[in-house]
Chain A
Amino acid sequence: MTANGHLTRRGFMGASVALTALLASGASVLAQDGTNLTIAYNIPVQSWDPTTGPAAVNPVLQSIYLAVFDRYIAQAPDLSFGPGLLTDWGFSADQSKITMTVRDGVKWHNGAALTPEDIVWSLERAANPETGNPMQFVWSKIGNFTVESNVITADVLDFEPALFKWMAFLTAFVLPKAYYEELGAEGFEKAPIGTGPYMVDAFEQGAYVRLKAFPDYWGDAPAFETVTIKFVTDAASRVAEVESGNSDVTVNIPYEEYDRLIAKDGLSGVAVPITDIGMIFLNDTGPMLDKNVRLAAHHAIDKQLIIDRLLRGYGVPLSTLEAPGYAAYDESIVVTYDPERSKELLAASGYSTDNPVKFTIQTTRGLKPKDYEMVQAIVGMWRKVGIEAEIEVYEIAKHYELRATDQLAPAAFYNWGNSIGDPSTATGFSMFGPSPHAVWDTEDLVNRIAPLFVERDEAARIQGYKDVSRYIAEEGYVIPLLQYVMPVVFSNTVSVTPYTSGDLLPQAITPAT
């Protein structure tokens, strides 16, 4: 600057250099250096109470919750169950009681010891409708807890065959009784603690969470001392994060980008089928009351072609709502791609390409990979056999509302997650008429599924669901499409263990060997 306050060329250059240096100081690359790991994640943590509110039932947030909190029962990458905070569990012989053994030597992040009272309090709180636990209907099926040493006993108030699988599912997290009661809900949101492998070190709502390894964790120590999870909701930005080296790992990016990135030096990827399936709900209304139309609609879809052309081969075609790896998966149930059969079925009901059956199909656009494009392709396939479907695009919130009030169109695209792989949480609730999530409500199906919700013989229950799946396929009550594949891209400096449940656990990421 000159004495009269005018900017000189030299002054301008100096200021520019200083500004550049200032900006450069803030643009440091974050990626891992052996002790630090950075993940670009697709959904921000909304709440730090993993047992109440909408966030508690968001499947994508479970990965982060699982880094900080522990569930009653743990789940392995292949969906199998194992000891979590409970080391032993089971029904009594007459299934009127349950017993649970609490793990010894577990500490909360504040140093206090985990007690059986924490477990009981968490279960009772979950069962209390006033706390807003969305899965209260499950937790209220047990009560009258008693504690002796580290063994908890409870009465079965209403038999739930999948109770212990639910203990590894949504909202099944243990929270610290004394700490929570001392701080209250708002205080806990600001300073959450769990028993998990990582402690919350810093949290910026909507931006990032920084986790620090918990030195007193009861399980294997996590590989990275610090994990930064950046919430990057835009897929293109997540791609840029990992491509630029700002993040070590990212997830749920377009398959085209996945293929492009893993071909680059320095990046690798894993893409495994997960417990999330794409499907078309059929509503028992209008043309869908005609079995020929339903079956024709199913036989006319070339699922493998959709997977190959739209999803670049990342997907597994399905004929039932039970995917491979689920307890009631039956590979013998197959609904083939057979457009000629579709034409015959439609002809039997008086429809043809000249006189097509008409209905609306609803879909989201961009919620799941290529959802709208898949429906477009399906509508094209239907047109060739004599089905003229009009596409209606809506937001997922509208889908939930229409589904809960049974007002969906005759066909509606949706994805159904089921990370415990139990048939009750797949075929059961999605096809059982009285459930707010079911769309097909006919009595025949209700009568077949209802007894399975209380079936005490596990083998009979699983076989029962297989039979129901076969019946649904024969009647064409729903059109399962495919099992999704979750793409994870990461730097060659790390190694990622994928989970079939779709979880991306920071504690399952290690330095590459």
Chain B
Amino acid sequence: MLLKTVLTRLATTLVTLFGVAVVVFTLVRVAPGNPIAMMLPPGATEEDIANLTRLYGFDKSLPEQFAIWLSGVVQGDFGTSITLRQPVMELVLGRLPATLELSIMALVIAVTLGGLVAVIGARKRGTGTEVGLDLTNGAVLSVPDFLWGLIFVLLFGVLWPVLSISGRVDPRLDIDFTSNFYVIEGLLRGRFDVVGSTLSHMLMPAMSLALPLAAMIAQLLKQSLKEVLHLDYTTLARVRGFSETAVILREALRNAALPTLTLVGVQFTFLIGGTVIVERIFAYEGLGNMAIDAVINRDLPLIQGIVILFAALFIVINLLVDLSYTLLNPRLRHG
């Protein structure tokens, strides 16, 4: 059953990616602004314009351009970036680890913080503490992630400068890693200076991304906890002498977590999307920052590569969430 689900999803993934490729390829070409116009010199003649257009392959028809690009893609060649002058696949794969590490750190913070607040809220249900947490959640949710970014820059970058404001790592460090997963490879190699620097640079952008999601998790999980805390098995646990906190953590949490898991899975893809603006604010060298530059410069091959990668990432994450949901929910597993 599970294998069939996976195979079906993988097959539809290819179709989806092809659809995304067609849409993005067409959209970036019909959207206003073309890269040739952006690099025309003052005295360019018609011949110069024709030369540049031919040099970058824009002289061919749209279907021809698509066919050429697609034939490259199936061989793993997504073309060469117009502005960065390097292979697109090399560039996006080089930036992907930075965005993944940031997103995962944000997710960990969001789940930890949201879970903690939810448990406290459920434990203190019906008291002023719960009201206070609800109000705080509402306030946190009403502030968008990029604004949290600016608030953190002001607080921990300027007024109390304990965290790094921009970049991903201290530029003075010599990093000769084989991958761009600085945290993971840093831990494996025992380069704690790199790990510390990377975490220090990631903390503010990760917190900016995490806070709105943490508030959502806190609200949903607390509500789910409150519902299951009325059920018989939790009452039985109390009768057996468990403290209220133990009832929540040992008995209620597992069953209450399923709706939250779905939320986390769906929101994780949005969280990756949210990195675009947050990475910009913190000059964090991830895919999002690169995407903005690519759009500004109308770097069509790079935009295509980034969008395809984002699409693939979203599909894989959704697939993993569905699978984990199936594994955790016995009714689905045996259905």
Tell me, yes or no, whether A27 is within 8 Å of chain B by CB.
yes
Tell me, yes or no, whether A355 is within 8 Å of chain B by CB.
no
Distance between Cα atoms of A170 and B40 in the complex (Å) = 12
Contact, CB under 8 Å: B43 / A204? no
Q: How large is the interface on B (under 10, 10 to 19, 20 to 34, 35 or more residues)?
A: 35 or more
Contact, CB under 8 Å: A234 / B285? no
Q: State which of A51-59, A143-151, A284-292, A311-319 sits at the interface with chain B.
A: A51-59
Q: Which of A204, A206, A398 contacts B293 (CB 8 A)?
A: A206
Contact, CB under 8 Å: B48 / A137? yes
Q: How far is the CB of A309 from chain B (nearest CB, A)?
A: 26
Tell me, yes or no, whether B11 is within 8 Å of chain A by CB.
no
Are A54 and B161 also in contact (CB < 8 A) when A206-B289, A230-B171 are? Answer: no
Tell me, yes or no, whether A495 is within 8 Å of chain B by CB.
no
B91 contacts across to A, CB distance below 8 A:
205
A129 contacts across to B, CB distance below 8 A:
48, 51, 55
Report the nearest B residue to A210, measured CB to CB. Answer: B171
Q: How far is the CB of A377 from chain B (nearest CB, A)?
A: 26
A398 contacts across to B, CB distance below 8 A:
32-33
Contact with B along A230-256 (1 / 0, CB 8 A): 111110110011011110000000000
Contact, CB under 8 Å: B161 / A436? no
Contact, CB under 8 Å: A231 / B283? yes
Contact, CB under 8 Å: B33 / A397? yes
Tell me, yes or no, whether A228 is within 8 Å of chain B by CB.
yes
Distance between Cα atoms of A29 and B192 in the complex (Å) = 18
Are A23 and B166 also in contact (CB < 8 A) when A30-B172, A208-B171, A237-B282 are? Answer: no
Are A246 and B166 also in contact (CB < 8 A) when A46-B83, A233-B280, A395-B33 are? Answer: yes
Contact with B along A482-501 (1 / 0, CB 8 A): 00000000000000000000
For chains A and B in complex, what number of residue pairs have CB atoms within 8 angstroms? Answer: 219
Contact, CB under 8 Å: B38 / A397? yes
Contact, CB under 8 Å: A206 / B95? yes
Report the nearest B residue to A28, measured CB to CB. Answer: B170
Distance between Cα atoms of A29 and B298 in the complex (Å) = 35
Contact, CB under 8 Å: A237 / B283? yes
Contact, CB under 8 Å: A134 / B41? yes
Within residues 207 to 240 of chain A, which ones have a CB less than 8 A from any CB in chain B? Answer: 207-208, 210, 226, 228, 230-234, 236-237, 240
Report the nearest A residue to B49, measured CB to CB. Answer: A436
Q: Which of A30, A205, A234 contacts B281 (CB 8 A)?
A: A234
Q: How far is the CB of B176 from chain A (nearest CB, A)?
A: 10
Q: Which of B95, B166, B174 contacts A232 (CB 8 A)?
A: B166
Tell me, yes or no, whether A278 is within 8 Å of chain B by CB.
no
Are A429 and B43 also in contact (CB < 8 A) when A206-B293, A237-B283 are? Answer: yes
B163 contacts across to A, CB distance below 8 A:
23, 27
B82 contacts across to A, CB distance below 8 A:
53-54
Q: State which of B198-206, B208-216, B230-238, B316-324 sits at the interface with chain A.
A: B198-206
Contact, CB under 8 Å: A436 / B32? no
Q: Which of B48, B172, B197 contacts A228 (CB 8 A)?
A: B172
B157 contacts across to A, CB distance below 8 A:
240, 244, 246
Q: How large is the interface on A (under 10, 10 to 19, 20 to 34, 35 or more residues)?
A: 35 or more
Distance between Cα atoms of A395 and B292 in the complex (Å) = 13
Contact, CB under 8 Å: A202 / B171? yes
Distance between Cα atoms of A30 and B201 in the complex (Å) = 13
Report the nearest B residue to A160, measured CB to CB. Answer: B43
Tell me, yes or no, whether A76 is within 8 Å of chain B by CB.
no
Report the nearest A residue to B195, measured CB to CB. Answer: A22
Tell me, yes or no, whether B168 is within 8 Å of chain A by CB.
yes
B64 contacts across to A, CB distance below 8 A:
none
Q: Which of B42, B84, B284, B292 contacts A46 (CB 8 A)?
A: B84
Tell me, yes or no, whether B297 is within 8 Å of chain A by CB.
yes
Tell me, yes or no, whether B35 is within 8 Å of chain A by CB.
yes
Contact with A along B176-200 (1 / 0, CB 8 A): 0000000000000000110111111
Contact, CB under 8 Å: A437 / B85? no
Tell me, yes or no, whether B34 is within 8 Å of chain A by CB.
yes
Contact, CB under 8 Å: A189 / B43? no
Within residues 429 to 476 of chain A, which ones have a CB less than 8 A from any CB in chain B? Answer: 429-430, 434-437
Q: Which of B49, B86, B296 contacts A404 (CB 8 A)?
A: B49
Contact, CB under 8 Å: A24 / B162? yes
Q: How far is the CB of B106 from chain A (nearest CB, A)?
A: 16
Contact, CB under 8 Å: B161 / A244? yes
A425 contacts across to B, CB distance below 8 A:
42
Contact, CB under 8 Å: A401 / B34? yes
A134 contacts across to B, CB distance below 8 A:
39-41, 44, 52
Tell me, yes or no, whether A342 is within 8 Å of chain B by CB.
no
Distance between Cα atoms of A136 and B95 in the complex (Å) = 33
Distance between Cα atoms of A123 and B287 in the complex (Å) = 36
Tell me, yes or no, whether B45 is within 8 Å of chain A by CB.
yes
Contact, CB under 8 Å: B153 / A23? no
Q: How far is the CB of A11 from chain B (nearest CB, A)?
A: 16
Contact, CB under 8 Å: B83 / A397? no
Distance between Cα atoms of A336 and B298 in the complex (Å) = 39
Report the nearest B residue to A400, measured CB to CB. Answer: B37
Within residues 124 to 149 of chain A, which ones have a CB less than 8 A from any CB in chain B? Answer: 129-130, 132, 134-138
B193 contacts across to A, CB distance below 8 A:
25-26
B200 contacts across to A, CB distance below 8 A:
23-27
Distance between Cα atoms of A26 and B202 in the complex (Å) = 10
Report the nearest A residue to B150, measured CB to CB. Answer: A236
Tell me, yes or no, whether B164 is within 8 Å of chain A by CB.
yes
Tell me, yes or no, whether A277 is within 8 Å of chain B by CB.
no
Report the nearest B residue to A130, measured CB to CB. Answer: B55
Distance between Cα atoms of A36 and B174 in the complex (Å) = 16
Are A207 and B203 also in contact (CB < 8 A) when A130-B55, A132-B55 are? Answer: no
Contact, CB under 8 Å: B196 / A25? yes
Q: Which of A28, A52, A204 contacts B168 (CB 8 A)?
A: A204
Q: How far is the CB of B165 from chain A (nearest CB, A)?
A: 5
Contact with B along A403-429 (1 / 0, CB 8 A): 111000000000000000000010011
Closest 8 CB pairs of A and B: A397-B33, A26-B200, A26-B197, A429-B42, A26-B196, A398-B32, A207-B285, A25-B196
Some 19 contacts from A to B, beta carbons below 8 A apart, are A26-B169, A26-B198, A27-B164, A30-B172, A53-B83, A134-B39, A137-B43, A189-B85, A204-B168, A206-B95, A207-B168, A208-B171, A236-B281, A237-B282, A395-B32, A397-B37, A404-B40, A429-B43, A430-B42
Task: Give me the interface of A with B, judged by CB distance under 8 Å.
Answer: 22-30, 36, 38, 40, 44, 46-47, 49, 52-55, 57, 129-130, 132, 134-138, 170, 185-186, 189, 202, 204-208, 210, 226, 228, 230-234, 236-237, 240-241, 243-246, 394-398, 400-405, 425, 428-430, 434-437
